[in-house]
Amino acid sequence: MKKVIIVDDEAAGRKLIKEYLEDFPELVLLGEANNGVDAVKMVNEFKPDLVFLDVQMPGMTGFDVLTHLEELPQIIFSTAYDQYALKAFDVHAVDYLLKPYTKERFKVAVERLELNSGGNKARPLAESLFMDSPKIPERILVQSQNKLVTISLEDVVRIEAYGDYSKLITEDKTYLSNYGISSLEEKLNASIFIRVHRSSIININRVKELNKYTKSYDVTMQNGDVVRVSRGYMDNIKKLMY
């Protein structure tokens, strides 16, 4: 059984999906929304397995909706606009239904759910929706066990390089980002997050104290972590001293 939510600003679009869903008793409809804001609230509350998602809606687009979700379900886009298809597959949506579509085409989309049942391949790539934004994000989508969650960047104490990936460390938990530390550094607020080592970025609002040694510094964070400042990034620390 898969829990389903329909998001479409047109009543006719929602009605058609509900009609086609009648042939698939294993897909259980939890609810429907006619705008992006309500969609975010509903998906975050009910945690569906699958969302049929329109692209052009009042309030926010379907892609905007994805960036506000606490966990990312499987997505089948359903829209009258074909120009968004490439972006949809960039985030590895299960399918892209171009209105008007037939019952047979709908069936093909549902059958593709089975191919993705071993894990939603969209999840790692959906983080690109955050990274591609020209604005500095307030929240970021990161890995937590077998799901994606959004966390507030102000809760991040420090960031640590982890091979080609990065670990985002909060007061009580560690999350995995699919982006390297240098890519994250480019997107972060430079007045708050500063690089102190090729493997470390710290949140200056989460610094407890700074200990000076002969040729280096150690930064103690509020969660008790100690981060060494390397020589190459010493100036970043000195700029904060008055």
- Closest to 96 (Cα-Cα) out of 122, 128, 123: 122
Indicate whether 121 and 11 sit together in one domain.
Answer: yes
Tens of pLDDT, residue by residue over 57-82, are: 887 888 888 888 888 888 999 988 77
Which residues have C-beta within 8 Å of that of residue 158, sequence separation ≥ 6? 169, 200, 201, 202, 203, 206, 221, 225, 227
Which of 125, 157, 184 is a domain's end point? 125
Which of 68, 98, 125 is a domain's end point? 125
**Which residues form the domain of 104?**
2-125
The answer as to whether 26 is a domain residue is yes
Indicate whether 150 and 188 sit together in one domain.
Answer: yes
| Entry pTM | 0.54
Average pLDDT over residues 1-12: 94
The answer as to whether 198 is a domain residue is yes
Tens of pLDDT, residue by residue over 85-131, are: 666 655 667 888 988 899 999 999 998 886 555 444 444 434 555 55
